[in-house]
Amino acid sequence: MIPRSIFNSDHEAFRDMVVKFLEKEAVPFHAQWEENGQIDRALWNKAGEQGLLCPCLPEEFGGVGADYLYSAIVMEEISRLGLTGIGFGLHTDIVAPYIEHYGSEAMKQKYLPKMITGEMVGAIAMTEPGAGSDLQGVRTTAVRDGDHYVINGSKTFITNGQHAEIVIVVAKTDPSAGAKGTSLIIVEAGTPGFTKGRNLHKVGMKAQDTSELFFQDVRVPVGNCIGQEGMGFIYLMQELPQERLGIAVNGIAMAEGALKLTIDYVKERKAFGKHIADFQNTQFKLAELHSRVMQGRVFVDRCLELHLDKKLDVPTAAAAKYMITDLQCEVIDECVQLHGGYGYMWEYPIARMWADARVQRIYGGTNEIMKTIISRAVLA
């Protein structure tokens, strides 16, 4: 791979620490976590102790005020190692920024320090059984009753759903106002009427706790509304480019990890009396995959640069999400093929990567939605 000039020596020292942490605290246990349907809750606290959670948050909340590349490094190494059960990225780069950017000072002081230490795990409840990628179609309601909201509705496919101590709920505070009636409201685990449903059984990402959430007459203080009431849809649109960049970061890192696994495999595996790597078809296929992954890496790193400069716009982030997740799935599928029958065996990491990768083209907005966003920009 080509040198990555956007990372300095401090970034790479942090990367080394992240890799050592994951190899010690996660890699040996991930297969069991897949059986359990979720990672060990203690991993969150251990990650917090090492500074892996919310590194970009300011020192006043207990963070270190690092740049976004530190978060990207954590996501990259988790994905490169195939540790898809670990939901640090959503906690760090999606949930925490909503509170930091739009929450009241009291809200920041209450939640952010505990998210940094891992004492509180964060989730965001957007998707509903009947809405999918259509955020304007949200039906969960939050009706004002004095100094409280009363929340009713249900959510599904919620990452960190079982472990979450706080959930940002996307709800309609004014159902008659369409998108302008959407608000973001924090609900804490244990609040009466808020229940966590089953841990969903997925095709891949089996160690990730992905849940249904139910809200029946859940009363929360009005102060739990993030920012201004009715501004939720705008807040979502402002933060989605970083979410989609994160998906692209995960995608290209997993593609790189899959390619490395495959190169190592074909050098060892023999067929017809010689190593798989000695066949010209293998050599050509690896050359193609290497070149395509390298192209994807350059694009993702450029998007990281734009994001650091606060210049990553919505259509470019959508392009990164769509292009890289398509590439990720195509590369890993070819890697499975080069593994032959063993590539379809669950004990081989490449098989798990293959299953884990597919959802990347769906969440964060389907790739069809990404194309719609891009086409509007192109035709504007």
CA distance 260 to 282: 14
CA distance 326 to 267: 27
**CB of 32 within 8 A of CB of 39?**
no
CA distance 133 to 369: 8
Q: 3-state class of 276 per DSSP?
A: helix
**CB of 67 within 8 A of CB of 334?**
no
Q: What is the DSSP string of 16-46?
A: HHHHHHHHHHTGGGHHHHHHHTS--THHHHH
CA distance 339 to 346: 12
Element containing residue 210 per DSSP (H, E): strand 210-221
Neighbours of 24 (CB within 10 A): 11
Cite the active site residues: 243
Sign of CA dihedral 128, 133, 134, 135: positive
CA distance 358 to 376: 26
**CB of 122 within 8 A of CB of 91?**
yes
